[in-house]
Structure 1
Amino acid sequence: MKTYPKEEIKIGWQPEKCTHSANCVKGLSAVFKPKDQPWIHPENASKQAIIDQVAKCPSGALTIVQ
């Protein structure tokens, strides 16, 4: 799992679980930019916006790690 910190949380990403539904990109394109390296930019949104969007990941590839 790769992690990306934001305040007291981290965005966890498990690429092997990703089904590429693009829900993250459609919902919060300022943070989730698949053409960038790294592709997650947590500095571009509030902690709560990120938590809300990660909760919509259908595969569970994105999680919030405390």
Structure 2
Amino acid sequence: MAQRDYQNESLIVHWNSELCVHSGNCARGLGSVFKPKERPWIQLEGGTAQQIQEAIDRCPSGALTYTLK
């Protein structure tokens, strides 16, 4: 499994590249956090924990998940 984790003080975002179907829902839904053309492509300081959770909940493939700290 090719999983990467990104974290801040309130949550850990898990991204599994093997599951990702590149629908773009994350970037269209919260472009201030999910920036596919940048590295790192997930920049948690761009949104609140609630905004990030809502964007991840719309991921159709399940490639993005989160754990609350």
Q: What TM-score, normalized by structure 2, do the two folds share? A: 0.90
State the AA in 1 paired with 2:51.
Answer: A
Q: Which residue matches 2:35?
A: 33
State the AA in 1 paired with 2:53.
Answer: I
- Which 5+ residue runs of structure 2 have no aligned equivalent? none
- Which 5+ residue runs of structure 1 have no aligned equivalent? none
Residues 14-33 of structure 1 correspond to what in structure 2 (within 5 A)? 14-33=16-35
- Per-residue CA deviation, residues 8-54 of structure 1 (Å, 9 max, x unaligned), is 21010000100000000000000000000110000010010001110
Q: Distance in 1 between matches of 2:31 and 2:47?
A: 10
Bigger helix share: 1
CA RMSD of aligned residues (A): 0.8
Q: Displacement, 1:7?
A: 1.9
Q: What is the total number of aligned residue pairs between the two structures?
A: 66
SS in 2 for 1:17: coil
State the AA in 1 paired with 2:49.
Answer: K
Q: Distance in 2 between matches of 1:31 and 1:57?
A: 14
Q: What TM-score, normalized by structure 1, do the two folds share? A: 0.94
Q: Which residue matches 2:53?
A: 51
- The percent of aligned pairs where both chains have the same amino acid is 44
State the AA in 1 paired with 2:41.
Answer: W
